[in-house]
Chains A and B, each alone.
Chain A
Amino acid sequence: MPDSETLPAPKPEAWRLKPAFDARIILVCLLASFALAFSAQRLDLGRLFTDVGAFLMASVGLSEASSIGEGMSGLANGMIPMVFDEQTPVEYVDDLDMRLARPFARLEQATTQETVLDPETLEIVTRQTETSVLVEPLGYLFLVLIKMLETVEIAIWATLFALVASLPLSVLCARNYAPHVLVYGAARTFVAFLRSVPELISALFLVLAFGFGAIPGIVALALHSIGFLAKFFAEDIESADVRSQEAVAVTGAGPFAVLRLAVLPQVLPSFTALTLYILDRNVRMATVIGLVGAGGIGQELKGRFDMFQYDRVATLLLVIFLTVLLLDFLAARIRRVLI
């Protein structure tokens, strides 16, 4: 710069250094805290603190029962013990064949007491009936595991479809490889739209279109995942190191060759990590979208919750938690092998 050469340089003691915090940052922080205070007032956030405080006081015996404590203990009483077995009265079972029954299944005699109104005497009497019950000790757990497997399958298919669709889409969304600025804009808008629709909402509509079952779940999850993967793939492509791209481009190769031979080897670890994260996330979301009838364990969860069978809900939650934990572990292993 010619200017810096003609002007005398200031002495070090006269230098002015940029402050770490300037007035603008302080102003922004002040405005943000005002906005948050207003919002807290609107949402009655004070109740959060009073309720939690009351719960803490009650739990150490400083005060009477709190509303949170009552709700939680009611739920915990309903959940424990968990239910792993299935007991079906024999008359509800078609073609009972013990050889085909689940492992450890056995028949038990159970006496059930019924309180009924005797139509002749018009008195309420207690009647005891002997019924034969098919007891499957792990029957319900088995059913839950089948549902969980279906949920994982939904997530895997959704991730696979999303991966296949978002690879080409991400190229259109990358500023440096989109064939035209309009294509880039359209692709970005489309991807943002896909990302902006929550899976739960799209599943709600897709259940109307495809009917109950796994298919609306797969489509809903895939659409949202495309929106996520295409955006992040595109950002990886944009920020990939240009030197190896130039090196391939200088040989006269077209953009596809550059993408395959220079960009893809660079971004592959990141793509793998993103896809595994999406798979992990899709397993969790697949349980949620089951709530609106899109298949899998969520459908079972919603049914049991609505019937207040919290002991079965507890089993379901345990299986979901263990599955997510297992997948997390597996994803970490796969990532270590691939990268």
Chain B
Amino acid sequence: MSLAAELTGAAASRMSRRLLGAGPAEPAQRGRLLGCEQLAKAYGGGPPALDNVSFSMDKPQFTVLLGSSGSGKTTLLRSIAGLVSLDAGQIEVAGTALTRESLPSVRRCIGMVHQEFGLADRLTAAQNVMAGAAAGLSWSRLIFQAYPRDVRQRACELLAEVGLTELQANRKARDLSGGQRQRVGIARALIGAPQLFLADEPVANLDPQTACGILALLREAVTAHGAGVLCSLHQTDLACQFADRIIGLKAGRLVFDGPPADLTPDVIAALFAKPGEAAVPAPVAA
């Protein structure tokens, strides 16, 4: 299903909640941070993008999804954010099962950053960050981008935290460098105080030095903000350097799950081997 349909679906569910007189989304019960059970997804009858993927994250940690292009990392992250509808399986975020109805409330527990940054180029860095706090704002506030004082305050704090100056905060996103843009993206994801932080190839378009800086910031999301981070990467060295835990995906199947120390050269070779060149190793128990 397309993003558009997903967005409209979210809208419909919000609307029905309002019509039924339901109050604002109830705070998620403290449970598992993230639970994925037997996720399956195939695009248009093609080979599976996700094939029976199950894992869970119980406490805030830096988890890296490692795999080559087309291994299903992006599909997994997008399905957790409710941007892709699954063929089968259950997702649970912060104790709430992800359904059509719970999507808006689940999304408020999630922050997400993208490979292409996903910023509005013509808005300033600060406006982009504050856009992350748009949920629940009235129409009039949205139209004039008149955010409440605490949101503005928080945006400035977060921008300073990710290393931007006041001058850069007021610069349009298109005038910032790639690394600065991704910092803005991280600040935007953090402004909603997420419990789960999803990062889809956050450093794919950045040079190695900038990439380390960005990943260090994501680590800080775990240590300073207490959020669980699920970050997809294809660079093994960066994964080993920053991750608490690595999940290896290959052709939509979970083939490795363990600490970076367990990621031996053999496992890496199998993980990035082309189909047919090497046997797929058996799934490693969590």
Chain A residues packing against B (C-beta within 8 Å): 5, 175-179, 242-258, 260-262, 265-266, 268
B118 in the interface (beta carbon within 8 A): yes
Cross-chain contact of B107 among A177, A178, A250 (Cβ < 8 A): A250
A245/B11 contact (C-beta < 8 A), A251-B132, A257-B135, A265-B122 known:
no
Q: Are A246 and B114 touching (Cβ within 8 A)?
A: yes
Residue of B nearest to A176 (CB): B4
A260 CA / B135 CA spacing, docked (Å): 12
Contact with A along B99-127 (1 / 0, CB 8 A): 00000111110111010111111110001
Residue of B nearest to A249 (CB): B7
Chain B positions 232-272 with a Cβ under 8 Å from a chain A Cβ: none
A250: B residues at CB distance < 8 A: 81-83, 107, 110-112, 198
Q: Are A265 and B123 touching (Cβ within 8 A)?
A: yes
Residue of B nearest to A248 (CB): B131
A266/B7 contact (C-beta < 8 A), A250-B107, A252-B108 known:
no
For the residues of A in contact with B, the DSSP-based class is helix
Cross-chain contact of B119 among A5, A247, A268 (Cβ < 8 A): A247
Q: Are B192 and A251 touching (Cβ within 8 A)?
A: yes
* Shortest Cβ distance from residue B7 to the other chain A in the assembled complex, whole angstroms: 5
A250 CA / B111 CA spacing, docked (Å): 7
Residue of A nearest to B12 (CB): A179
Q: Are B188 and A247 touching (Cβ within 8 A)?
A: yes
Q: Are B11 and A255 touching (Cβ within 8 A)?
A: yes
Chain B positions 161-204 with a Cβ under 8 Å from a chain A Cβ: 185, 188-189, 192, 198
Contact with A along B1-16 (1 / 0, CB 8 A): 0111111101110100
Measured as residues with beta carbon below 8 angstroms from the partner, the interface class of chain B is 35 or more
A257 CA / B118 CA spacing, docked (Å): 15
Cross-chain contact of B139 among A249, A256, A258 (Cβ < 8 A): A256
B137 in the interface (beta carbon within 8 A): yes
The 9 closest A-B pairs by CB, nearest first: A176-B4, A247-B118, A252-B107, A257-B134, A252-B108, A252-B135, A253-B134, A243-B118, A265-B120
A255: B residues at CB distance < 8 A: 7-8, 10-11
Q: Are A246 and B3 touching (Cβ within 8 A)?
A: yes
B14: A residues at CB distance < 8 A: 254
Residue of B nearest to A262 (CB): B120
Q: A176-B7, A249-B7, A252-B104 are in contact. List 14 more A-B contacts (CB 8 A).
A: A243-B114, A244-B120, A246-B81, A246-B114, A247-B114, A247-B188, A250-B111, A252-B106, A252-B136, A253-B131, A254-B135, A255-B11, A260-B134, A266-B120
B142 in the interface (beta carbon within 8 A): yes
A246 CA / B119 CA spacing, docked (Å): 10
A246/B118 contact (C-beta < 8 A), A179-B11, A253-B134, A255-B7 known:
yes
A280 CA / B189 CA spacing, docked (Å): 43
Q: Are A5 and B4 touching (Cβ within 8 A)?
A: no
A252 CA / B132 CA spacing, docked (Å): 9
Name 8 interchain pairs, CB-CB below 8 A, sorted by A: A176-B7, A179-B8, A244-B118, A250-B107, A251-B131, A257-B135, A261-B142, A262-B131
Residue of A nearest to B131 (CB): A261
B286 in the interface (beta carbon within 8 A): no
A12 CA / B112 CA spacing, docked (Å): 45
B45 in the interface (beta carbon within 8 A): no
B276 in the interface (beta carbon within 8 A): yes
A247: B residues at CB distance < 8 A: 112, 114, 118-119, 185, 188
* Shortest Cβ distance from residue B79 to the other chain A in the assembled complex, whole angstroms: 12
Cross-chain contact of B134 among A175, A243, A248 (Cβ < 8 A): A248
Q: Are B123 and A5 touching (Cβ within 8 A)?
A: no
B221 in the interface (beta carbon within 8 A): no
A254: B residues at CB distance < 8 A: 10-11, 14, 104, 135
* Shortest Cβ distance from residue B164 to the other chain A in the assembled complex, whole angstroms: 18
B133 in the interface (beta carbon within 8 A): yes
A178: B residues at CB distance < 8 A: 8
* Shortest Cβ distance from residue B209 to the other chain A in the assembled complex, whole angstroms: 25
Q: Are A253 and B135 touching (Cβ within 8 A)?
A: yes
A257 CA / B139 CA spacing, docked (Å): 8
B134: A residues at CB distance < 8 A: 248, 251, 253, 257, 260-261
A257 CA / B276 CA spacing, docked (Å): 47
A260: B residues at CB distance < 8 A: 134, 142-143, 145
* Shortest Cβ distance from residue B157 to the other chain A in the assembled complex, whole angstroms: 18
